[in-house]
Amino acid sequence: MDSVKNYFKGGKPTPEEQKAARRASKRMSVRQSRLSGVPSTIDESSPGQPEFTTFESLGDRSPLPKFEPMNHRFSRFSFLSNVTQESSAEEIEQARKSFRMSMSGYASNNGGNRRTTMYTDRTEMSDIPESVVEDSVADSDEKMDNNENILDELKHEIMVNYLFQQQCARLWIADGTGEVEGVMLKKSRGNYLACPPALADSMFADSCVELNVLCAMTVNSRVIKTFLAWTPDAIDVPLTNGLRVQVLPTMEDLPAAKKHQFAAFVADEALLVVWDDDVHNLIKRAKFIEDELMELVWSSGEEENVEDEEGAKKGPGVVEARFDPVTGEELPEDRPTNLQNTVLVSFTLVIILALLGAGFRQVAIEISVDYNWFRLLFFLLTPVQVFFTLFFAQVIVGCTAQIIGPIKQVTSNSRFYSALLPRRIAPVDNGPLPHVTIQCPVYKEGLEGVIAPTVKSCKAAMSTYELQGGSCNMLFHDDGLQLIDEDERNARIDFYTDNNIGWTARPKHGSEGFVRKGKFKKASNMNFGMMVSCNVEAKLLALDRHVNWNQNDEAEAYGNALQEVLDEHGRAWADGNIRIGDYIIIIDSDTRVPEDCILDAVSEMERSQEVGIMQFSSGVMQVTWTFFENGITYFTNLIYSAIKYTVANGDVAPFVGHNAILRWKAIQQVSYFDEDNYEKFWAENTVSEDFDMSLRLQCNGYIIRLAAWAGEGFQEGVSLTVYDELARWEKYAYGCNELLFQPLHLWFTQGPLTILCKEFLFSQIRMTSKITILSYIGTYYAIGAAWILTLVNYFAVGWFNGYLDKYYLDSWNVWFGLVIVFVGLGNVSLAVMRYRIGEKTLLFAFLENIKWVPMFVVFLGGLSIHVSQALLSHMFVWEMSWGSTVKEATFSNAWIEMQLIWGGYRNTIFLSFLCIAGMIILGTASFVPYDWKINSFLAWWPMASCWGSHLLLPIALF
């Protein structure tokens, strides 16, 4: 130990110390050699035939020394690095002392850099030469890297031996030579461990490397051999739950297997091969398949009926089959067009006419008294009044219907609504199941926190669908890949490759004149990626396929076509399978997909050829579980409940841009070309590309349907902060104005209405649905105008109360009406409806609604100025931009939040303080003349509610 102190003090080591250091270095090399086993590796990056890492079995190797576990991260390996079985007692004790000293120094620094300061309690840093300190740091870094490598080697070696031990214990291996059977475990790309060692030179090992799986195992049992012997020509093996496991002729065909089935029978070897992305699931997966085979052969009819009865009690029901009594053929499902929505809209128009009539009556009475015909100018405000009050009247009618109206339509199928699961189509009946592509646009979302969990849920759904006989792939349009740094980019590309994800990436905006069109870029991102895919498909369609064309030929042709397209475009990046199937399931980067949903969705789309888009009902995937996120979760669920009720009544289903399945043939029918001279599918000139797509499909004869049977299986992220939620409302308001109106400077040349709005008004969509959509859009204009009208009302009622025209409705009456309808009637009706359809108990639903009233009084009351900003920015072509939504929790504190609040909302806060101060001055200041004071409750209460909410919104809800 003195030699260590002398070394740090700059003393020259003695010859004995140098000899001891050489012995320790040699022991370290021996130690690493023992841990790594026989020195041969699988490495695809090296030229020539790859060699596979092998190792001696644990039984042939001397047992490792056991040490007491420590709490420190590097404790065990700092000790192991200098101690082997050949070490003497003195050397072991010396290492223990050195180790304890290093840990003591590390702890004394309270988490500091232990490499340079672990001995500061014994030696002053000023006494240590700088060169010596740098050398010691370098040595420590190298030592830590070696320790991490040892840990990695040890971890993988223990796991592969454990899996092999489980394989042997379950009698899943018959030939111990390792020529065919065993376990493979990936350490890194192209680098695998094999057990037994001889397996490294087998075709199974080569196939695992090409298939790029994390772990794989062969299963050899009498059950499997017997089953394959009795079905020699089978292409798949059925299981009891409707799943089917693929059968491959030889082990050489394994790389071409459907990877997401995670299993395949190999006919010539009479084996089952299973693989997984999680080593903990490998044994479970193999056991599940073997048990299912036994259940398939030995199950009795009575047991199946019990299972069917139990399954019928879970989830939504299934549509009953109808057959022709004469021919016996299955009849198409009866889906009536419900007319409840037509009746409700009619009542809404009656209320609107009654309100307008009451106003006109007051005008007529006043004209009859003073003959002031200028009051007729009030009639010019009629379209604005209807636009603003349409949603208000519709809420009154809808809430009343939820309480006392029919409710059966919510639990049955209709033309635009599906409450019951479809009868599943089978591959044997209709040929191969349609190919499905899961499409996801991404930007710079976190790989581990956002994208990886989404991919995991998608792969589970894909695995189920492939086991049911279908095929699918994932296609990511990564708009941030060419923008992020190289390390992060390589990590993403490796992740896409490991998870069998096809991806596209376009150049950054302004790179060599490249333009990323659109306000939010999502539409143009998907258009670019789909353009690359279509170009590849065009080249494949031009191929002359010979009679013996097989899957390997197709894969080679696809690779060549993709490379040709990338060479032609030059700046486009792409890899993996980017082909698009018969159907597209579009999701966001923070979506969770239910495990067994694809076959149900495909079955309904196949049975309903008129459906262009089927929107899934969704739940909320919470991340932080904060007060604000909980509130937005409640609000989102409220919106989806209202949508389900409205669509079940016969209204057209909305398309919200994600969590939906799209018919690829229908999307291609409504494509268009612009100045970029390539086929595009999504509208790039609007922020509401989802509404535009929905409208174009409906104008082309397709319908949109809501799949309520999905329940809350699909989950989407919500805004985690009040800033993101405000930005979302601003985006929606901007999109609504963009849909309806041209910018103001184009009104005199092109008219006020957009082409899209004219197409919508004169489209084949039912009139009642048009009224519902217009009422929804009108809410943004009503909210945006609230702060201006409230400000005007304050002075009008405060200074001219009693002199105002009877046609005028003051803000107090408006505020009181909103409270009665939305806070009172709305919460009661929502609770009653959820109780009537069996979602929640009446008391719980009502208490939950009341719980969130204060939050949304503040939130919705403080939206006005933000919404009006978005509306006016489009109308007057002011530049307004929004950042990407935060989708994972980030560190924050009160100081950071205050900076964000002041940076983003200081103008709103200043205006709120100014208005509140003005109210106080006009109401209490002694220097204000009596005739100019405003003390009326009818004047100041709406004003205080409006600006108080604007002030509290960013502060109270951050």
Cα–Cα distance for residue pair 132/848, rounded to 1 Å: 67
What's the mean pLDDT in 700-720?
Answer: 92
Buried b (16+ CB within 10 A) or exposed e, 628-667: bbbbbbbbbbbebbbbbbbbbbbbbbbbbbbbbbbbbebb
Written as six digits, the tokens of 354 are 């009654």
What pLDDT band is residue 136 in, cutting at 50, 70 and 90?
A: low
What pLDDT does residue 432 have?
84
What pLDDT does residue 798 have?
92
Please identify which residue in the block is written with the tokens 């006109």.
360
Sorted by where each starts, the structural domains of the chain and their CATH numbers stand as: 2-160 (no CATH), 413-720 (3.90.550.10)
The answer to whether residue 715 scores a pLDDT higher than 80 is yes
Cα–Cα distance for residue pair 255/83, rounded to 1 Å: 44
What pLDDT does residue 244 have?
87
pLDDT: which is higher, 285 or 318 = 285
Cα–Cα distance for residue pair 392/389, rounded to 1 Å: 5
Read off the amino acid at residue 340.
Q
What pLDDT does residue 49 have?
37
330 backbone dihedrals φ, ψ, rounded to 5°: -70, 135
Cis peptide before 249 (omega within 30 of 0): no
The answer to whether residue 106 scores a pLDDT higher than 50 is no
Buried b (16+ CB within 10 A) or exposed e, 180-218: bbbbbbbbeebbbbbbbbbbbbbebbbbbbebbbbbbbb
Q: What is the pLDDT of residues 426-447, one digit of tens each?
A: 876 556 899 999 999 999 888 9
The answer to whether residue 519 scores a pLDDT higher than 80 is no
Mean pLDDT, the chain, rounded, equals 82
DSSP single-letter state for residue 421: B
Which of 13-22, 50-59, 185-194, 492-501 is predicted least confidently? 50-59
Which of 143-152, 404-413, 506-515 is predicted least confidently? 143-152
Helix 722-740 × helix 767-800 angle, to 10°: 110
Per-residue CA distances from 778 to 72, 127, 486, 717, 730 (Å): 62, 77, 47, 26, 14
Q: What is the pLDDT of residues 166-218, one digit of tens each?
A: 999 988 988 766 678 999 999 888 889 998 888 888 999 999 999 889 999 99
Written as six digits, the tokens of 86 are 């050949």
Dihedral sign computed on CA atoms, order 710, 621, 476, 721: positive
Q: Nearest Cα to 118, choosing from 157, 74, 63?
A: 74
Query: Mind giving me the DSSP string for 849-872?
Result: HHHTHHHHHHHHHT-HHHHHHHHH
Please give the share of the chain, as a percent, with pLDDT higher than 90: 51
Answer yes or no: are the C-beta atoms of 534 and 679 closer than 8 Å.
yes
Cα–Cα distance for residue pair 44/37, rounded to 1 Å: 20
Written as six digits, the tokens of 464 are 């189920």
What pLDDT band is residue 508 in, cutting at 50, 70 and 90?
A: confident
What's the mean pLDDT in 721-735?
Answer: 90
What's the mean pLDDT in 128-132?
Answer: 53
580 backbone dihedrals φ, ψ, rounded to 5°: -110, 130
pLDDT: which is higher, 738 or 26 = 738
- Give pTM, 2 decimals: 0.80
pLDDT: which is higher, 698 or 885 = 698
What pLDDT band is residue 782 in, cutting at 50, 70 and 90?
A: very high
What pLDDT does residue 430 have?
54
The answer to whether residue 912 scores a pLDDT higher than 80 is yes
Answer yes or no: are the C-beta atoms of 622 and 635 closer than 8 Å.
no
Cα–Cα distance for residue pair 18/12, rounded to 1 Å: 10
Cα–Cα distance for residue pair 374/538, rounded to 1 Å: 67
Answer yes or no: are the C-beta atoms of 716 and 658 closer than 8 Å.
yes
Q: In sequence order, which residues have a C-beta less than 8 Å from that of residue 175 and are 6 or more positions away?
A: 181, 220
What pLDDT does residue 42 have?
44
Q: Nearest Cα to 208, choosing from 228, 187, 235?
A: 187
pLDDT: which is higher, 105 or 664 = 664
For residue 236, the cross-strand partners are 246
Q: Nearest Cα to 40, choosing from 51, 31, 26, 29?
A: 51
Q: In angstroms, how far is CA 140 from the centroid of its own chain?
A: 42
The answer to whether residue 44 scores a pLDDT higher than 70 is no
The answer to whether residue 58 scores a pLDDT higher than 50 is no
Q: What is the pLDDT of residues 267-288, one digit of tens each?
A: 988 899 999 998 999 999 999 9
The answer to whether residue 479 scores a pLDDT higher than 80 is yes
Q: What is the pLDDT of residues 831-878, one digit of tens each?
A: 999 999 888 899 999 999 999 999 999 999 999 999 999 999 999 988
**What is the pairing mode between strands 263-266 and 271-276?**
antiparallel
Q: What is the pLDDT of residues 804-825, one digit of tens each?
A: 888 888 999 999 999 999 999 9
pLDDT: which is higher, 896 or 462 = 462
Answer yes or no: are the C-beta atoms of 44 and 206 closer than 8 Å.
no
Planar angle of CA 711, 715, 720, nearest 5 degrees: 135
What pLDDT does residue 102 have?
45
Cα–Cα distance for residue pair 804/796, rounded to 1 Å: 8
Q: In sequence order, which residues have a C-beta less than 8 Å from that of residue 698 and are 6 or more positions away?
A: 612, 652, 704, 763, 764, 765
What pLDDT band is residue 355 in, cutting at 50, 70 and 90?
A: very high
Please give the share of the chain, as a percent, with pLDDT higher than 70: 81
